[in-house]
Structure 1
Amino acid sequence: MLDQQPYRYIGGKASIVLSLFILGAVLALIAELPYGGWIQIPVLSLVWWRLNPQTPNPLKKQFLQGLIFGIGYFVIGLWWLYISLHDVGGMNALLACMGVFLLSAYVAVYFSLATLVIPLFKQSRLFGLLLASSWVLAEFLRGYIFTGFPWMGFAETQFNGPFAPIAPFFGGLACTFLAVWASWEIYQVRKHVLASAILLSAVVSISQLAGLLTFTKPVGEPISVRLIQGNFEQSLIFKPEGILQQIAFYHDAITQSKAELIIAPETAFPWPENQLPANLLESLRSFSNSNDANLLFGVIGRESAPQNNREFSNRALGLSPSSPTYIYDKSHLVPFGEFIPPGFHWFVNAFSVPLSDFARGGMSQPNFTILRAHQDPIYAAITICYEDVFGSELASRIRNSRKPTNLLINLTNLAWFGDSQAPTQQLRLSQLRSLETGLPALRATNTGITAVLGPDGKVLKALPEFTQSTLSTQVQAYSGKTPYVIWGNLPILGISCLLLLWGLIRHRRF
């Protein structure tokens, strides 16, 4: 009779790989649920069980298993990129699938590296702190290397989880730290039932009580606001008639009624500003001056001194009564969408739509000044689309700004990604930014989700997706700085590095 042992071994390996991929996919799906941040933690503990930390793997095997888990997570979480590559961009379906898979595999590497502490360190009662520290450092690097891509981390899911109130103190990375640590404690609960239950309850309770502390306060009277959602398909801006239709709509929508602040989304006017229809900007400025209205809208900027042959920028223009034009150029650009990494022009050439290689704006651009009759000005920090993924950069801008920051404004166009979970994912990121900074936020988007967020990140008002509409409301500005704005990621990164150093010393000693 043939020996069945090799077949059992192969079957066992296949079941581990499949289960890790499925667990990653399930974690990504859970992120979209109302209480996803709570549910993700016990599901993540199943990952530690499947990686079997009691019999540590060789580093190579551990890396590959962690990679499979990460690929399952990101393929589901980022599948909507296929829409921009294939449906909008016209890329070959196979090449588009490959693009999504390769990006997912790349960002999964950071998850995989974080799990390497399992075989590297001897496990003890405090091992969960080392795993959480490793995860924090991996996530920090994911948001930094090659300009960073920290989308779909555990931090934004924690906005709907137990550790969200920690964000104003130590930021999203601290939420990630506690989520990973808590999942390890749940995994260990079979060994230390009482101790783990008490410890988990205490940390969750302290985190929830931390939410009672506030660091910002209302300033001045509420401001009247109109947010415009045009709901134009992305393909329209590649046709002259579509461009003219969009320009006419946003001009008319901006000037149709009064408000102290009127905002249109990213590239509302999808054409270089110096080539826009005659008298368009003059008409908007006249409306601003005659109605005491502050206007903010997206255009394609034209650089007077091109950077490295990059002539255009993704720009927000602000018009305030009897004031010079405000200019904000997007600083953190999207790879392939807004700048082309060296050696990848062949990939971009596979699109059937024109893509730009934009110039970057500076990291220390001033806030937008919102003027009000008989009241002090309000100062708003502007971000364009993808930039609200980077919490530490926004905190740094607020911390170093010469003027106070009372409000966050994000201009976005997610029409590239169709009817997918991309808008809700970005909404959670914006909610986390408000929570970290203690400031309300206004989101003006083309297809959704256009919304007003409170200083605690909660949605106060929102428009339905894929509708052409206007959101009119009043918003209260806030003043002050949270500990996270003051300290940034330094505390949680320092704690994580010290814990890993302690773990290394302890490992060598014993």
Structure 2
Amino acid sequence: MIDLQSARLRNSTNALLLFFLGALLAAVAELPYGGWIQIPILSLIWWRMDQQSSHSIKNQFIFGMSFGLGYFVLGLWWIYISLHDIGGMHAALSGLAVFLLAAGMAFFFSSASLSLALAKRKHLTGLILAASWVMIEYLRSVVLTGFPWMGFAEAQFNGPFAPVAAFFGGLACTFLVVWISWEMTQLRKNIFFSATCIISTVALAQLAGFWTFTKPIGEPLSIRLIQGNFEQSLKFNPKAIEEQFSFYTNAIEGQSADLIITPETAYPWPQSNLPAGLLGSLQHFSNNTSSNVLLGVIGETGNSAGVQYTNRALGLSPNAPNYQYDKSHLVPFGEFIPPGFHWFVNAFNVPMSDFARGKQDQAPFSIIRSGKDAVHAAITICYEDVFGGELASRIHRSSQPVNLLINMTNLAWFGESQAPAQQLRLSQLRSLETGLPALRATNTGITAALGPDGKVLSQLDEFTQGVLSLKIQAYSGITPYVLWGNAPILGLSCLLLILGLIRQKRI
């Protein structure tokens, strides 16, 4: 009886420790060298979990859930702001929703970490763990439309494996983070082999940074990124909407540029119901000043069921037909309601939370300049830049070569939290993967321009109203990741898992 109580106490203590280590892992991702710091913390997590590998699968699963819960509760707490502060949902229900989402994400982490308990050949454990993690992260990006936020890859922009992204994408960065952090736990057992793996892998990753696959083309573009800083709680207030319309229209027409971009839903009203003459006036400005303008609006599309709304980027170019991009990858509950969950959305006040999906193969936006070749930009709206594989596929299949990335975002839903910094790192990872510069126009921040290496060229302060004016160089070419997508790293992971199963059966 005493031994049973002692075992339960040890398990509870270990689960609590793993919860705090998971939270610490999420916290350090926000630091300048977070990608480096995460690796030894992960190593400590694997060490603690491996100490329990002789215990039951049930306990190992609980330990993985504890680590995942700590990681995602801290990393995703800002969703509470959108549900409670903006949406008006009861505090208890908002907190429960965040916890359940964190638990759902932790389930994926816990499933991947079971390989620590199942692997019997220790020299393969690290590779099997890394392969499991890659496959689970891929599933996390596709199950129920996917929610791969807060993966290990985006922190690697400030870590040792960032250069690998151009070759094999963010999932390859994840593989290396997990494998190398495991090898750190093995240094006492096999210092020569593990040290060789760690040093050579980090060195090769750093050397990969000397390869470039894209190059500058043409003259730099003049850019104006407009940040309105309008509170989300006022987004659907009629008087606030008038003020918002006035600010963005005046900011656009205040100065010409090759490209002027507003944030997502800067004009938060159905396109057909915008004030009379507004779009005509902006098109007149575009024609007279040779300015290309991208507007965030509420689009409309018709089908047999009637009119449906879309989250749209509307492009105006000099003496050219209007361009439109309708967001394809929608946010569950925020932009579309999964079957059976209307009751949940009805619990908080979010108008127009059930949008129609845009097509996945929409053409890039052509930035027209007099006497010069057009520059083509791939557009993502907010949450879409989480999905690196989808963006790479769009660029690869595009009828026009893509020279620039544009993300239009409204993160006012999440207040003063780490959400804007998290999404900035995702945009930086997308630039690394594609070798293309990126422009981010946001409502409250972080409005920024990124180079093809993902580094911030210029940015506005968060929660300020203003315009970021700069020059940016377009690039041409494609990276191996754009060409191959996730196929190489998924193929390698599948082979390792098959090998692991075969070796396990022989024991």
Q: Same fold (TM over 0.5)?
A: yes
Change (3 A) 1:295 1:19: same
Q: Partner of 1:158 in structure 2?
A: 156
Match of residue 65, structure 1, among 60, 63, 66: 63
Q: Partner of 1:454 in structure 2?
A: 451
| Cα distance between partner residues in 2 of 1:10 and 1:64 | 12
| Cα distance between partner residues in 1 of 2:307 and 2:457 | 39
Query: In the alignment, is the contact (CA less than 8 A) between 2:161 and 2:173 conserved in 1?
Result: yes
Letter of the aligned partner of 2:245 in structure 1? I
Structure 1 outlier segments of 4+, above 6 Å: none
Shift of the alpha carbon at 1:352?
Answer: 2.8
**TM-score of the two chains, using structure 1 as the length reference:** 0.98
Letter of the aligned partner of 1:91 in structure 2? M
Note the alpha carbon deviations across 1:461-485, whole angstroms, 9 max, x for none.
0000000010000000000000000
| Cα distance between partner residues in 2 of 1:21 and 1:56 | 20
> What SS does the corresponding residue of 1:318 show, helix, strand or coil?
strand
| Cα distance between partner residues in 1 of 2:136 and 2:228 | 38
Matched, 1:389 2:382: no
Shift of the alpha carbon at 1:310?
Answer: 6.1
Match of residue 185, structure 1, among 183, 191, 194: 183
**TM-score of the two chains, using structure 2 as the length reference:** 0.98
Query: In the alignment, is the contact (CA less than 8 A) between 1:298 and 1:411 conserved in 2?
Result: yes
State the superposition RMSD in angstroms.
1.1
Query: In the alignment, is the contact (CA less than 8 A) between 1:56 and 1:118 conserved in 2?
Result: no
Change (3 A) 1:90 1:172: same
Q: Partner of 1:492 in structure 2?
A: 489
Match of residue 273, structure 1, among 262, 266, 271: 271
Q: Partner of 1:352 in structure 2?
A: 349
| Cα distance between partner residues in 2 of 1:414 and 1:55 | 42
| Cα distance between partner residues in 2 of 1:426 and 1:258 | 29
Match of residue 327, structure 2, among 326, 330, 343: 330
Q: Partner of 1:24 in structure 2?
A: 22
Q: Partner of 1:426 in structure 2?
A: 423
Shift of the alpha carbon at 1:309?
Answer: 5.4
Change (3 A) 1:495 1:309: farther
| Cα distance between partner residues in 2 of 1:365 and 1:304 | 17
Q: Partner of 1:200 in structure 2?
A: 198
| Cα distance between partner residues in 2 of 1:63 and 1:227 | 47
Q: Partner of 1:477 in structure 2?
A: 474
> What SS does the corresponding residue of 2:98 show, helix, strand or coil?
helix
Change (3 A) 1:310 1:127: farther
Q: Partner of 2:499 in structure 1?
A: 502
The worse-fitting range, judged by mean Cα deviation, of 492-501 and 353-362 is 353-362
Q: Partner of 1:408 in structure 2?
A: 405
| Cα distance between partner residues in 2 of 1:87 and 1:483 | 43
Note the alpha carbon deviations across 1:316-365, whole angstroms, 9 max, x for none.
00000000000000000000000000010111111034242100000000
- 1:1-40 maps to which residues of 2 (within 5 A)? 4-40=2-38
Query: In the alignment, is the contact (CA less than 8 A) between 2:49 and 2:116 conserved in 1?
Result: no
Note the alpha carbon deviations across 1:118-170, whole angstroms, 9 max, x for none.
12221322321111000000000000010000000000011110001000000
Q: Partner of 2:224 in structure 1?
A: 226
Query: In the alignment, is the contact (CA less than 8 A) between 1:408 and 1:441 conserved in 2?
Result: yes
Q: Can you give the 5+ residue segments of structure 1 that lack an aligned partner in the other structure? A: none
Shift of the alpha carbon at 1:192?
Answer: 1.3
> What SS does the corresponding residue of 2:219 show, helix, strand or coil?
coil
> What SS does the corresponding residue of 1:222 show, helix, strand or coil?
strand
| Cα distance between partner residues in 1 of 2:228 and 2:351 | 22
Letter of the aligned partner of 2:128 in structure 1? L
> What SS does the corresponding residue of 1:254 show, helix, strand or coil?
helix
Matched, 1:377 2:374: yes
> What SS does the corresponding residue of 1:397 show, helix, strand or coil?
helix
- 1:73-152 maps to which residues of 2 (within 5 A)? 73-152=71-150
Match of residue 251, structure 1, among 235, 249, 252: 249
Q: Partner of 2:338 in structure 1?
A: 341
Letter of the aligned partner of 2:477 in structure 1? G
Note the alpha carbon deviations across 1:286-336, whole angstroms, 9 max, x for none.
000000000001000011336x55610000000000000000000000000
Letter of the aligned partner of 1:449 in structure 2? I
| Cα distance between partner residues in 1 of 2:418 and 2:454 | 19
What is the count of residue pairs matched by the alignment? 507
The worse-fitting range, judged by mean Cα deviation, of 248-257 and 117-126 is 117-126
Q: Partner of 1:175 in structure 2?
A: 173
| Cα distance between partner residues in 2 of 1:301 and 1:97 | 32
